[in-house]
Structure 1
């Protein structure tokens, strides 16, 4: 048994070594050979399946000691008469089908090497589902220091992404990124994912920013990670700035930001550097934002290196309460609304919710759930009883779930009744409605009314009449 354990340990060690050695080698296409060159493409996005193809666009005629145009290449693409030769790499992007392809590969580890190349110039095409790369190319030759003659030379290209796809997700408390209803005042997390761009060696626009644009909310916290490492904001990493109306950088921002204020992550030039140190690394911007609107919210991301603007939209729940008289019928269209009823709302088995009065929309009274800041602000009026001034009241800014409704005060002349619980569903229509029908109170005599007065008068009249008859009968007997 001990020998078996030793054998398994040796096998496991060999497997680990083999695995490590396998990951140490980049993808290679073709065979290395004397008298040929290699072209390595770096800076591709790791983890993305990227198709990389190379095309020979300039040939070397050793016998005639001259450069020649490759298949499908015209003088508009390559100016051989210029010294040095000029190549318009961007011209080849739309004519790849007519060029001479000498190698292709699909890689996901961020790099690929093409071997066995003759002296010449090669156009490199790279594309993934999420990232488009600028047209690029390289000539694989150099001059021998001793003989002064041309010879093959291995070269390396750093791929520069021209456009990157951003993704944005809203993760609820259960960890999912599916649609979820939230309540007003809740702080919700959003994640923006991008790829750190690469830059040409002669690039002058070494800038990179990601902007978060909230609607119906305010940004309270931002965390930036590059390659899985969290960065501390500063002059050597990144800064948070506002965004002017023309899209330019505004003033530095101290969080929490104002409601609806755009927040931009501006990477420092020192962090971007000149050696593409972070090129191809995954960038995540984790944004936390507090919901300030009572009905909807949206959060959009953009970048100066992005080719899309992903947006997450959501809604908040609401409860509509209609107060009717005792003749209410569910299928009727002429039900009579009663004015002045008051209701309280609470999550099932929870405390009554505090609301802020918004105003009247037509004949509907509107209230919104108070945020923690509003509850703490003594200058803002809060209520637990919401009033159906004209018979209908709407409570906005609620989370999904079951709610208890209590009729705290009935309209004049009507009795308080029990109201069934309602449920706000998690989905695209988070609305619940409670139709409440009241009963009239029993009629009572008015204070200071007739009461027993009539009966007293009648009784007295009968007594007087009886006394009259008594004395009249005595008088007749005496005669």
Structure 2
């Protein structure tokens, strides 16, 4: 029995050794590299073999799976796998035994690749996040999807051919490396406004500028390029009359050429979509700088404006960048107190700022809607009066940087109007050149103190009594003098 176990053990050891040797041999099979030019150092690639060698087929090639074949059949509008592959072979090399076969088009091939790479069920079997160069172990066609921060890649394909054959067996012994060039578009997009410090006031007209890159698009059946803009806290400056009434004028510049376009805004006025597909019918404009500008008017205390270039629904229609430009408004308060620092409710103020033009200082008085800025006027009578609450304070918002003055026009009951106007200032935090959030805006708030009214005589009070007593005394003295003078006269 011991000898039996020894024999079995020896056989198992031998089997393991043979398998180990076979594994080493199998691992040394032919390989090839797919080198990708123009790919970033941080780029990664998902890849999938779509066409494989098959000696049982007329062309010697076959689609890797029925699902992949269906994608090609749909794009080529052809039901026979081998006919599709023949067309692709003829496109690659006109001098083949398939002369007379209509060649495939680049567009058909790119459309089919996009269909494959855009199908998540097919891509479930793909090799993920490989780096270039990609090492493969089989001849055929590989579909490749590139991913890199800041760029959108178009679909790529690499054909790996048999390079050498065993002259004895005729079996391929080596594969041919392939070099392809990545087609990619920067997805960085910039959005700026003409207010460099990012602090505005309600009613300010702002010009926005969007800068991006025209994408390189494969020869897909649907070539389009759209830019969508969304805004809150502001309204687009649509035309108010003429042929383009209620439309937004957008200036477009591609490379050195300028265009003018008008677009409709959404019903709620919060967005518009600019269709630039006319500029990507070919790739003549690919990777050129594109700039668009348009205007809007601030309507609230915060403005958020976001632009998105591209579709973004799936990888084959990617986002070519997005950016949000934020604008902020300032706020400032005035607190009213009495002589003993008690807070005073009911003090009314009108707010103004002073502007100097042509050596002349002009006062511009503020209009408010629920204490938010609603406009300016040079007529004080048209200005809005704001009133302190129970805490003696009133706060106004929607303001730009600068100095604001408070003129008291209504004093609290029992107090007199202070004729010395108070002032406050809105500024950026020390060291900041532009606001990145509302916290970067600080206010030096205004304060004002009132005095009580001077006392006046009360009707029926001590003042009346005093005058009455004095009158009675005077009248009594006069009567006494009269009677004394009469008595003296009668004695004489």
- Give the TM-score of the pair, scaled to structure 2: 0.58
Which ranges in structure 2 are unaligned for 5 or more consecutive residues? 1-31, 73-79, 86-111, 163-174, 238-248, 313-318, 429-434
TM-fit CA distance, 1:95: 5.6
The alpha carbon displacement at 1:129 in A equals 1.0
Deviation of residue 399 (structure 1)?
A: 0.6
What are the residue-to-residue correspondences of 1:226-245 with 2, within 5 Å? 226-227=254-255, 229-233=256-260, 239-244=261-266
Structure-1 separation of matches of 2:129 and 2:150: 25
**Equivalent position SS for 2:133:** strand
Q: Distance in 2 between matches of 1:101 and 1:294?
A: 49
Displacement of 1:368 in angstroms is: 2.0
Which residue in the other structure is 2:200 paired with?
182
Q: Give the whole-Å Cα distance in 2 for the aligned partners of 1:96 and 1:454.
A: 115
CA deviation vs aligned residue, 1:64-92 (integer Å, no higher than 9, x gap): 994499xxx87766799931458744578
Greater share of helix: 2
Q: Does the 8 A contact of 1:60 with 1:68 survive in 2?
A: yes
Partner Cα distance (2:281, 2:236) in 1: 29
For residues 115-143 of structure 1, give each alpha carbon's deviation from its aligned partner in whole angstroms, at most 9, with x where no partner exists.
xx99742333422212343543143679x
Which residue number in structure 1 is paired with residue 341 of structure 2? 328
Question: Is the counterpart of residue 103 in structure 1 residue 145 in structure 2?
Answer: no
- Looking at structure 1, the residues matched to 130 and 328 of structure 2 have their Cα atoms a distance apart, in angstroms, of 54
- C-alpha spacing 1:281/1:120, structure 2 compared with 1 (3 Å): farther
Q: For residue 439 of structure 1, give the secondary structure of its aligned residue in structure 2.
A: coil
Q: Is 1:297 matched with 2:299?
A: no
Q: How does 1:262-277 map to 2 (within 5 A)?
A: 262-269=271-278, 271-274=279-282, 276-277=283-284
Distance 1:96-1:218 versus aligned 2 partners, 3 A rule: same
Give CA deviations for 1:15-58 in whole Å, capped at 9, x if unaligned.
Answer: xxxxxxxxxxxxxxxxxxxxx9998768x8xxx87737696845
Provide, for residues 231-274 of structure 1, a one-character-per-residue CA deviation record: whole Å limited to 9, x for no partner: 212xxxxx3321446xxxxxxxxxxxxx94533322153x2223
Structural mapping, 1:189-208, within 5 Å: 189-201=207-219, 203-208=220-225
CA contact (8 A) 1:195 1:280 kept: yes
Answer yes or no: is the 8 Å Cα contact 1:168–1:310 preserved in 2.
Answer: yes
Q: Verify the 8 A CA contact 2:403 2:425 in the aligned structure 1.
A: yes
Partner of 1:399: 400
Match of 1:21? Answer: none
**Contact 1:93–1:135 (CA under 8 A) maintained in structure 2:** no
Q: Which of 288, 293, 301 does residue 295 from structure 2 map onto?
A: 288
Change (3 A) 1:342 1:462: farther
Deviating more after overlay: 73-82 vs 392-401: 73-82
1:172 corresponds to which of 192, 195, 204: 195
Aligned residues: CA RMSD: 5.0
Shift of 1:438: 1.4
Q: Scaled by the length of structure 1, what TM-score is found?
A: 0.59
Q: Aligned partners of 1:262 and 1:310: how far apart in 2?
A: 15
SS at match of 1:421: strand
* Contact kept? 1:386, 1:393, Cα under 8 Å: no
Unaligned runs of 5+ in 1: 1-35, 105-113, 143-150, 175-179, 234-238, 246-258, 330-334
Asked if 2 retains the 8 angstrom alpha-carbon contact of 1:130 and 1:165, the reply is: yes
1:137 aligns with 2:157: yes
Count of aligned residue pairs for this structure pair: 370
Q: Structure 1 CA distance, aligned partners of 2:476 and 2:297? A: 81
Conserved 8 A contact 1:54-1:122: no
Structure 1 distance, partners of 2:37, 2:144, is 8
Contact conserved, 2:34 with 2:132, CA < 8 A, in 1? Answer: no
Change beyond 3 A, Cα 1:82–1:387 = closer
Within the alignment, does 1:414 sit opposite 2:422 as a pair? no
> Could you tell me how far apart the structure 2 residues matched to 1:199 and 1:260 are?
31
C-alpha distance in 2 between matches for 1:355 and 1:402: 13
Identify the residue that residue 364 of structure 2 maps to in structure 1. 353
In terms of mean alpha carbon deviation, does 303-312 or 446-455 score higher? 446-455
In the alignment, structure 1 residue 127 sits paired with structure 2 residue 180: no
> Aligned in 2, Cα 1:408/1:422: closer, same or farther, shift over 3 Å?
same
Match of 1:255 in 2: none
**Which has the higher Rg, Structure 1 or Structure 2?**
2
Which position in structure 2 is the counterpart of 1:211?
228
CA distance in 2, matches of 1:99, 1:346: 60
Q: Structure 1 residue 346: deviation in Å?
A: 1.4
The match for 2:332 is 319
Shift of 1:301: 1.5
- 1:456 corresponds to 2:448: no
- Following superposition, the deviation at residue 447 of structure 1 comes to 9.2
